[in-house]
Structure 1
Amino acid sequence: MTPDEVGRYAESLPRVKRKGTESRPAWYVRDRLVARLQEPDVLVVRVPMSRRESLLEAYPDSFGVPPRMESHHKVEAYLDRASAQAVRTAIDLAWEMQQP
């Protein structure tokens, strides 16, 4: 999945707005992070802790949690090898977290 595809998908969800910069775009719902392009092929996605482990187990080649993110509601998606479905699933989880 490319960063442009990530952006198109994220922005297709209700109330998601793009922020950030050209090189590091980010997508938010009501000023709460959904996803942010950390590097050209690494997307940080905010996911519920209660669902993070199952996401990692379902898509082990697509996601990782570096030590600096272990205590945060986040995963890294490796866009150069992640399946599009895996990335969309993570973005959906992030978007659901922002719903009232």
Structure 2
Amino acid sequence: MTPEEVGRYAESLPGVKRKGTESRPAWYVRDRLVVRLDDPRTLVIRVPLNKREALLERHPESFGVPPRMEAHHKVEAYLDHARRAAVREAIDLAWEMQRRDPPGG
């Protein structure tokens, strides 16, 4: 999957807008991060902690969690190895999590 394909897919989701810079674009819904290109071959995707482990088990070639992200709702997706369907699944999880109203909101 290419960064351009990631952008097209993210922007196809309702309410998602591109922000960031030319070299590090990011896609947000309601000003909440969904996915960001960290470098030309690595994405950072917000993923609910309660669904992250299952995602990693289903797609070990696509995702990883470096030590700096262990406590956060994030995974890295490795575009050189990631399956398109796996990246889309993670982006969908992020979009679902980030588009929800906050408690009491």
Give the TM-score band, short-chain normalised. over 0.9
Amino acid at match of 2:26: A
The residue number in structure 2 matching 1:47 is 47
Identity over aligned residues, as a percent?
A: 77
Distance 1:73 1:39 in 2: 19
The residue number in structure 2 matching 1:38 is 38
RMSD: 0.5
Amino acid at match of 2:35: A
- The structural deviation recorded for 1:25 is 0.2
Q: How does 1:1-100 map to 2 (within 5 A)?
A: 1-98=1-98, 99-100=100-101
- The structural deviation recorded for 1:89 is 0.2
**Structure 2 residues not aligned, in runs of 5+:** none
Distance 2:35 2:29 in 1: 10
Q: Secondary structure of 1:9's partner?
A: helix
- The structural deviation recorded for 1:58 is 0.3
Distance 1:22 1:81 in 2: 23
- The structural deviation recorded for 1:49 is 0.1
Larger radius of gyration: 2
Q: Secondary structure of 1:76's partner?
A: strand
- The structural deviation recorded for 1:19 is 0.1
How many residues are aligned here? Answer: 100
Q: Secondary structure of 1:82's partner?
A: coil
Which contiguous aligned blocks of 4+ residues in structure 1 show a shift greater than 6 angstroms? none
TM-score by length of 1: 0.99
**Structure 1 residues not aligned, in runs of 5+:** none
Amino acid at match of 1:29: V
